[in-house]
Chain A
Amino acid sequence: MADLTAGQNNSPKGGDTADAVRASLARRNRKQKILQGLGLGAIGFAFLMLFILVASLVSSGYQAFTQTKITLEVYVDPEEIEPEKLPRGGFKDVLQASLSELLPEVDTSDRATRKALSGILSNGAQFDLRDRVVADPALIGQTITMTVPVSDPYDQLNKGTIDRDTPEQNRRLNDAEIAWFDQLKAEGVISKPLNTGLVTNADSRFPELAGLKGALIGSFWALFVCFVISFPLGIGAAIYLEEFAPKNKVSDFIEVNINNLAAVPSVVFGLLALAVFIGWFGLPRSAPFVGGMTLALMTMPTIIIATRAALKAVPPSIREAALGIGASKHQVVFGHVLPLAMPGILTGTIIGLAQALGETAPLLLIGMNAFITSAPAGPFDSATALPTQIFIWADSPERGFVSRTSAAILVLLGFLVTMNAIAIYLRNKFERSW
């Protein structure tokens, strides 16, 4: 280098350097362009994949955000439903009678036809009616207006996923059933409103009734328990390791193992939870409390690592300033270092929790993939979580669950994006320059 600069000053060699630089310049610039191109290509590829993912989810999931419903004028026949026998009664027959009124030409003397006719309505319709009558027995003998979901095949027909040109024997609805539905539609009793049941109903065997309420509440409790356990423990461990622990072989060993812990496959934590929490401690299966503890095992290393990084990032000048005034070690840590590290800690925690929200394998092992038709009232009730609910629905054969699976994935992704957005917001808001 010294020779080069010296050469530049001494005229005979100066031209050589300039020529050499000029000759290599094109090659160097080309290399840079190639590198930039590769980088842009990689980003483009990532965006393309993201776009394909979201597009496929939306295209198969958007149908689940609406639900075909039918509006019926139901005469609550006192002969079928007797007040003294409630909650038992012929609710299904009553509903079928009101359908028959809309489709008068259908001959209902035949049992099979009656069954087929009832099949237009969701199986949940009779329970809706029952609940209304039980709540207000005065309805018996009156005519009430009800809007109830239609069953899954008709829902699919209305949404266009059943092809009318398919040969009849390969179709889930025969020609007569399609004709009924078309007639009902012509009479204007069919509607397709927003599917609020997707978040207000718990799981069901019938896709038109199945919703995410149980999974949402289960996930909430699991995350809550996970946060309450992993946040204080994780921060405490990180503060001790980073600020107070002597730097020796033991602390090195602990550090290596915490990093290892963060890389342990999640299914292993599930097995551990199954053996320890459920096997030894006898905690209930399928409970969000156990799920939360399991997720806490996984989230804690993430929080410890994030917290240590955040503590390390606090400039030493701040520590020195406080120490120089005569602050004790804990005053330095809790008065100065921790507040400055908080944005980083919170960001790490939220990202750890977002990871926990999407975690499936450990929850499967502790039984949070059970079929549970009511939302949990507390963290000790059986429940599912969002990812395990997706797992269950993805396994179900009914056509309606295909779109519901995608819709549930969209809901889960929505939560993840929101949590990450909060993390970014917090980081930007509290980021300081010093």
Chain B
Amino acid sequence: MMNDMSKIEPSTAVDAIKIQAKGVQVFYGDNQAIKDVSVDILDKTVTAFIGPSGCGKSTFLRCLNRMNDTIDVCRVEGDIRIDNEDIYDKRIDPVQLRAKVGMVFQKPNPFPKSIYDNVAYGPRIHGLARTKADLDEIVEKSLRRGAIWDEVKDRLHEPGTGLSGGQQQRLCIARAVATEPEVLLMDEPCSALDPIATAQVEELIDELKLNFSVVIVTHSMQQAARVSQKTAFFHLGSLVEYGDTGHIFTNPEDPRTESYITGRIG
């Protein structure tokens, strides 16, 4: 419902808070991976998480769709709300949450099935298409959103694993948007891609923000600067600084942020 309303008036919804995290702590067994992170992520905005390796940015990202649930020793504390709904509430099924919060992974991971079946998988398991024609339409629309339709439209029934790395990643993005999520999490989506494929994916992210709230983890500060409107800098499990991307990169308030951006730590 929220989504539909905001589609009508995208301009006024820009500042609406989509995800609200308060005092989030994550533990792997006895190790604390995330220390007291509070952040508000806006709708229809690209938010970048940057920071050195092992700083917890991916861990925090995976809290947002409860992918950490699959790790036995992982424990999440604190409060994360999407559309003001506690996603760690007992009544929330992670399956339901993940249909609403899509995810794209670091390494392209298409299913060893046809391109069509890759994209159709989500709509099928959630029962989003009543007829074959509906499904065809969803697949085409998603592949167009993934900016890969023209390259694969003649070979929809060939295996998705046969595509190049960049095409596979765009296929994975198409697969993620096929279920019409409201939030799209991207965990270093370009780290396995060459510069051309990276440029294509970045262009795509720019378009995706018209419909989704996009959260992207990246190692590349240039990428964060290019695609995001908001940037959060993580260091040693803490959120050091969060603000407008332009501001963070030109005028960081915290000395650690400045050191990282200028290449002195990381």
A interface vs B, CB < 8 Å? 246-247, 315, 317-328, 331, 335-336, 340, 432-434
Which residues in window 107-143 of B have CB below 8 A to A? 107, 109-112, 121-122, 125-126
From A322, A325, A432, A434, B179 is in contact (CB under 8 Å) with A325
Which residues in window 73-115 of B have CB below 8 A to A? 95-99, 102-105, 107, 109-112
B65 and A321 contact, CB distance less than 8 A? no
Is B148's CB within 8 Å of the partner chain A? Answer: no
Residues of chain A with a CB closer than 8 A to B217's CB: none
From A246, A326, A340, B126 is in contact (CB under 8 Å) with A326
Residues of chain A with a CB closer than 8 A to B111's CB: 318, 321-322, 336
Interchain nearest-CB distance for B108 vs A (Å): 9
A326 and B98 contact, CB distance less than 8 A? yes
**What 0/1 pattern do residues 163 to 189 of B give for CB contact below 8 A with A?**
000000000100110010000000000
A324 and B125 in contact, given A336-B111, A340-B112 (Cβ under 8 angstroms):
no
List the B residue with the shortest CB-CB distance to A331. Answer: B125
Interchain nearest-CB distance for B92 vs A (Å): 12
Residues of chain B with a CB closer than 8 A to A320's CB: 67, 70, 103, 105, 109
Residues of chain B with a CB closer than 8 A to A432's CB: 112, 161
B179 and A321 contact, CB distance less than 8 A? no
B98 and A317 contact, CB distance less than 8 A? no
From B70, B72, B176, A325 is in contact (CB under 8 Å) with B176
Q: Cα distance A40–B65 when bound, in Å? A: 54
List the A residue with the shortest CB-CB distance to B72. Answer: A247
A323 and B98 contact, CB distance less than 8 A? yes
A326 and B95 in contact, given A320-B105, A321-B105 (Cβ under 8 angstroms):
yes
Residues of chain B with a CB closer than 8 A to A328's CB: 95, 125
A324 and B112 in contact, given A247-B72, A317-B107, A433-B161 (Cβ under 8 angstroms):
no
B72 and A324 contact, CB distance less than 8 A? no
Residues of chain A with a CB closer than 8 A to B70's CB: 319-320, 323
B98 and A434 contact, CB distance less than 8 A? no
Q: Cα distance A432–B161 when bound, in Å? A: 10
B99 and A324 contact, CB distance less than 8 A? no
Q: Cα distance A175–B104 when bound, in Å? A: 91
Contact residues of A: prevailing secondary structure: helix
B interface vs A, CB < 8 Å? 65, 67, 70, 72, 95-99, 102-105, 107, 109-112, 121-122, 125-126, 161, 172, 175-176, 179
Q: Cα distance A146–B103 when bound, in Å? A: 80
Q: Cα distance A320–B108 when bound, in Å? A: 11
Known: A326-B98, A326-B126, A336-B111. 13 other contacts (CB 8 A): A317-B107, A318-B111, A319-B70, A323-B98, A324-B67, A325-B99, A325-B122, A325-B179, A326-B95, A326-B122, A326-B125, A335-B125, A340-B112
Q: Cα distance A245–B121 when bound, in Å? A: 26
Interchain nearest-CB distance for B123 vs A (Å): 9
Q: Cα distance A374–B229 when bound, in Å? A: 84
Residues of chain A with a CB closer than 8 A to B96's CB: 326
Q: Cα distance A335–B125 when bound, in Å? A: 10
List the B residue with the shortest CB-CB distance to A317. Answer: B109
List the A residue with the shortest CB-CB distance to B178. Answer: A325
List the B residue with the shortest CB-CB distance to A327. Answer: B125
Residues of chain B with a CB closer than 8 A to A246's CB: 72
A321 and B122 contact, CB distance less than 8 A? no
List the A residue with the shortest CB-CB distance to B70. Answer: A323
Interchain nearest-CB distance for A199 vs B (Å): 43
Can you offer 28 A-B residue contacts whose CB atoms are under 8 A?
Answer: A247-B72, A315-B109, A317-B107, A317-B109, A318-B112, A320-B105, A321-B105, A321-B110, A321-B111, A322-B111, A322-B121, A324-B98, A324-B102, A324-B104, A325-B176, A326-B95, A326-B97, A326-B98, A326-B99, A326-B125, A327-B95, A328-B95, A336-B111, A340-B112, A432-B112, A433-B161, A434-B109, A434-B161
Q: Cα distance A326–B96 when bound, in Å? A: 7
Interchain nearest-CB distance for B165 vs A (Å): 13
List the A residue with the shortest CB-CB distance to B159. Answer: A432
Q: Cα distance A340–B112 when bound, in Å? A: 9
Residues of chain B with a CB closer than 8 A to A315's CB: 109
Residues of chain B with a CB closer than 8 A to A434's CB: 109, 112, 161
Residues of chain A with a CB closer than 8 A to B161's CB: 432-434
Q: When A and B form their complex, which 6 residue pairs have the shortest distance between CB atoms, in order from nearest?
A: A324-B103, A326-B99, A317-B109, A326-B98, A325-B122, A321-B109
Residues of chain B with a CB closer than 8 A to A335's CB: 125
Interchain nearest-CB distance for A194 vs B (Å): 48
Interchain nearest-CB distance for A316 vs B (Å): 9
Interchain nearest-CB distance for A244 vs B (Å): 12
From B110, B126, B176, A324 is in contact (CB under 8 Å) with B176
Residues of chain B with a CB closer than 8 A to A433's CB: 161
Q: Cα distance A323–B65 when bound, in Å? A: 10
Q: Cα distance A246–B72 when bound, in Å? A: 8
A326 and B105 in contact, given A432-B112, A434-B112 (Cβ under 8 angstroms):
no
